[in-house]
C-alpha cells in the first residue's frame, strides 16, 4: 500500500492546503490500495503560479529543443524502468486486467513516448520559408504556454503522457489533474518526473475531483486545456475554453463500428474483436462496441461471437489469465447493468451475459454481454456504455454498412474485416472516424489519434500531437 501525504507542486513535494484525502480501493475486493491528499483550489493556485513563473521567466522554454529532448528522454527511460510496478499498481486501482496494463507499460507507452521524441527531433523549430528581395520570412515554433492536462482513470499514464510529453518537448509548463480513482499512480508518476530533473515550476501533479478540475481549466493563467474524458465533460470544458479563448484539445467518447464484410475470415474477425471490443474491460473510448454484420452471414457471426464472449475469463485483474476484470466503481457497475436491462426492454435479443451478478465474485463485476437483432436507433447502439457490452446490427449492402457506421454522434475508432485489404481501405475512407484499421492492424503512434463529431477536437501522438502544444509565429526580417 502506498500512502502520500504531499502533493507535487511546481517540482516540489508540498503540504496540501486542505486536510481532505483520497482513498483508493480495489474494485476487485474493496481493499485499500493507498491514499493521497485531495488537491483544493488553493493547491491549484500554487501550481498554476509556479507554472506561469516557470514559463514566463524560467529556463525551460528558453532551453534549446535539443536540451529539452535530453531531459524528456531521461524521464522516458526512468518511466520504462518502473513498468512492471506501474502495471500492477494501475491494475489494482482501476480493475484493468494485468495483461492490458502490462502491454501499456512495457510496450505501448514506450512507443508513444518515442514517437513524440522522434517528432520533436524532426521538427524545424525555426525555418526560412521564402526570401523576397532583401526580406526573409521565417516560421518560428514555440510552446503554447501553461497547459492544464485533465485525464481519466482507465489508462492513466498513457493518457497523462500523451499530453505531458509533447507539451514539455515544446517548452510548455504543465499541471496534471489526475483522477481520484487512480490518484496513487499519479503521485508515483510525480516521483519519476522528480527524478528526471526538470527545472522548478515545470511540472505539477495534483489528484482531485471534478470541482477542482473545473477550477483548474477555468484559471485565467492557463493557456491551453488538454482533456481526455466523457463527451459531457468535454462540452463543459469547450464552453469554458470558448469563453476565455483558450487553446483546447478534447479526446472524448466513442461508439465505434466494426464492419464485417461477406468475404471476411470469421475466425480472425472474432479473435480480433475480443481485444477491440472487450479490451480494458470494455472501459475504453476506442472500443468497437457495434458489430455490423451482413444478413447473409448474420446468424453465423452471432454464433461465433457468442462462443468468444462465453469463453472470456472474468475475475481478479491481478491474475494473468483474467481477460476482463471488475468495473472501476460500483456506480459504473450498476450503470452498465442498467444498460443491459434497457437493451432487453428495447427488444434486442440477449444472446449471452446479462445483468445478474457473477457467482463467486463480490467486486464491481459485470458479465460480458452480447446483444443481437439490434436496431441502430436503440440506445444500446447509440450511447457509450463503457463496459463489456457488444451489439450486433445487420446490414444489407456495403453502402448500408457505411451509413450505419456513420449514423452516430461519435466518430473515434472502428474498422473493417475483409479478405480484400484494398477494398477494406476503400470502405473505411467513407467512414467519418479518426482511428481505424483493416483486419485489426495496429496503428503506429506516429500517426494522429483523435475523433470526429462528438468524439472531440484536436489530435494526439506524433507530429500532429506535438504541434497541438505549439504556436506558430511568422517573422519577417
Q: How many residues does the chain have?
A: 477
Scanning the structure block, which residue is given the C-alpha cell 457506421?
Answer: 405
The strand pairing partners of 333, in sequence order, are none
Query: What pLDDT, on a 0 to 100 scale, did the predictor assign at position 59?
Result: 98
Q: Give the CA distances from residue 156 to residues 45, 180, 187, 292, in Å, rounded to whole numbers and listed in that order.
A: 23, 11, 11, 31
Mean pLDDT of the chain: 98
DSSP letter, residue 82: T
Q: What CATH superfamily is the domain 256-444?
A: Aldehyde Dehydrogenase; Chain A, domain 2 (3.40.309.10)
**How far apart are the C-alpha atoms of 10 and 8, rounded to whole Å?**
7
**257-276 pLDDT per residue, tens:** 999 999 999 999 999 999 99
Query: What pLDDT, on a 0 to 100 scale, did the predictor assign at position 187?
Result: 98
Contact present, 210 and 240 (Cβ < 8 Å): no
**How far apart are the C-alpha atoms of 55 and 137, rounded to whole Å?**
26
**How far apart are the C-alpha atoms of 63 and 72, rounded to whole Å?**
13
Interior/surface letters 171-181, b for 16+ CB within 10 angstroms, e for the rest: bbbbbbbbbbb
Q: Average of pLDDT values for 167-172?
A: 98
Contact present, 262 and 294 (Cβ < 8 Å): yes
Q: Which residues contact 126 (CB under 8 A, 6 or more apart)?
A: 138, 139, 140, 141
Query: What pLDDT, on a 0 to 100 scale, did the predictor assign at position 260?
Result: 98
Query: What pLDDT, on a 0 to 100 scale, did the predictor assign at position 47?
Result: 98
For residue 201, the Cα-to-chain-centroid distance in whole angstroms is 26
**What percentage of the chain has pLDDT greater than the value 90?**
100
Longest dimension (CA), the chain: 80
Contact present, 281 and 257 (Cβ < 8 Å): no
Residue 279: pLDDT band (50, 70, 90) is: very high
pTM of the entire structure? 0.97
Q: What are the residue ranges spanned by the domains of the chain? A: 2-252+455-476, 256-444
**173-218 pLDDT per residue, tens:** 999 999 999 999 999 999 999 999 999 999 999 999 999 999 999 9
Q: Among candidates 216, 202, 162, 207, which has minimal Cα distance to 186?
A: 207
DSSP for 387-453, written as a single string: SSEEEEEEESSHHHHHHHHHSSSEESEEEEE-S-HHHHHHHHTTS--SEEEETTPPPPTTS-B--EE
**How far apart are the C-alpha atoms of 174 and 164, rounded to whole Å?**
7
Query: What pLDDT, on a 0 to 100 scale, did the predictor assign at position 259?
Result: 98
Contact present, 160 and 149 (Cβ < 8 Å): yes
- Helix ranges (H only) for 311-408 are 330-346, 379-382, 398-406
Q: Which CATH architecture is the domain 2-252+455-476 placed in?
A: 3-Layer(aba) Sandwich (3.40)
Positions marked catalytic? 251, 285
Scanning the structure block, which residue is given the C-alpha cell 505549439?
Answer: 470
Amino acid at each position: 500500500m502506498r500512502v502520500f501525504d504531499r502533493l507535487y507542486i511546481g517540482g516540489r513535494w508540498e503540504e496540501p492546503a486542505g486536510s481532505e484525502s483520497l482513498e483508493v480501493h480495489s474494485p476487485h475486493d474493496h481493499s485499500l490500495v493507498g491514499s493521497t491528499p485531495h488537491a483544493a483550489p488553493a493547491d491549484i493556485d500554487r501550481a498554476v503560479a509556479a507554472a506561469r513563473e516557470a514559463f514566463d521567466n524560467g529556463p525551460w522554454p528558453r532551453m534549446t529543443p535539443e536540451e529539452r529532448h535530453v531531459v524528456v528522454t531521461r524521464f522516458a527511460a526512468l518511466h520504462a524502468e518502473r513498468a512492471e510496478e506501474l502495471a500492477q499498481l494501475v491494475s489494482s486501482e482501476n480493475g484493468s486486467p494485468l495483461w492490458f496494463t502490462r502491454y501499456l507499460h512495457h510496450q505501448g507507452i514506450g512507443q508513444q513516448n518515442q514517437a513524440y521524441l522522434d517528432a520533436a527531433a524532426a521538427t524545424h523549430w525555426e525555418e526560412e520559408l521564402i526570401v523576397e528581395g532583401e526580406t526573409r520570412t521565417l516560421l518560428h515554433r514555440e510552446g503554447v504556454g501553461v497547459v492544464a492536462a485533465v485525464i481519466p482513470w482507465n489508462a492513466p499514464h498513457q493518457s497523462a503522457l500523451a499530453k505531458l510529453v509533447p507539451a514539455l518537448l515544446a517548452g510548455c509548463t504543465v499541471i496534471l489533474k489526475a483522477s481520484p480513482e487512480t490518484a496513487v499512480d499519479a503521485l508515483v508518476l510525480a516521483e519519476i518526473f522528480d527524478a528526471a530533473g526538470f527545472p522548478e515550476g515545470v511540472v505539477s501533479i495534483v489528484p482531485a475531483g471534478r470541482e477542482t478540475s473545473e477550477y483548474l481549466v477555468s484559471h485565467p493563467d492557463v493557456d491551453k486545456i488538454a482533456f481526455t474524458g466523457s463527451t459531457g465533460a468535454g462540452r463543459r470544458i469547450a464552453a469554458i475554453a470558448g469563453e476565455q479563448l483558450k487553446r483546447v484539445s478534447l479526446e472524448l467518447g466513442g461508439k465505434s463500428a466494426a464492419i464485417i464484410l461477406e468475404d471476411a475470415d470469421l475466425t480472425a474477425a472474432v479473435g480480433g474483436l475480443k481485444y477491440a471490443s472487450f479490451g480494458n474491460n470494455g472501459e475504453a473510448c476506442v472500443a468497437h462496441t457495434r458489430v455490423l454484420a451482413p444478413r447473409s452471414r448474420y446468424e453465423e457471426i452471432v454464433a461465433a461471437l457468442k462462443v468468444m464472449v462465453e469463453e472470456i475469463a472474468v475475475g481478479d485483474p491481478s491474475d494473468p489469465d483474467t481477460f476482463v476484470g471488475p468495473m472501476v466503481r460500483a456506480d459504473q457497475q450498476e450503470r452498465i447493468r442498467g444498460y443491459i436491462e434497457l437493451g432487453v426492454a428495447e427488444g434486442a435479443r440477449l444472446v449471452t451475459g446479462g445483468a445478474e451478478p457473477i457467482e463467486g465474485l463480490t467486486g464491481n463485476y459485470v458479465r460480458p454481454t452480447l446483444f443481437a437483432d439490434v436496431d441502430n436507433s436503440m440506445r444500446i447502439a447509440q450511447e457509450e456504455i463503457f463496459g463489456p457490452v457488444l451489439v450486433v446490427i445487420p446490414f444489407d449492402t456495403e453502402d448500408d454498412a457505411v451509413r450505419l457506421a456513420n449514423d452516430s454522434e461519435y466518430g473515434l475508432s472502428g474498422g473493417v474485416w475483409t479478405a480484400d485489404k484494398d477494398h477494406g481501405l476503400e470502405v473505411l475512407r467513407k467512414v467519418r472516424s479518426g482511428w481505424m484499421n483493416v483486419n485489426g492492424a495496429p496503428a503506429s503512434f506516429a500517426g494522429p489519434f483523435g475523433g470526429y463529431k462528438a468524439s472531440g477536437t484536436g489530435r494526439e501522438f506524433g507530429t500532429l500531437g506535438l504541434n497541438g502544444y505549439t504556436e506558430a509565429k511568422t517573422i519577417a526580417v
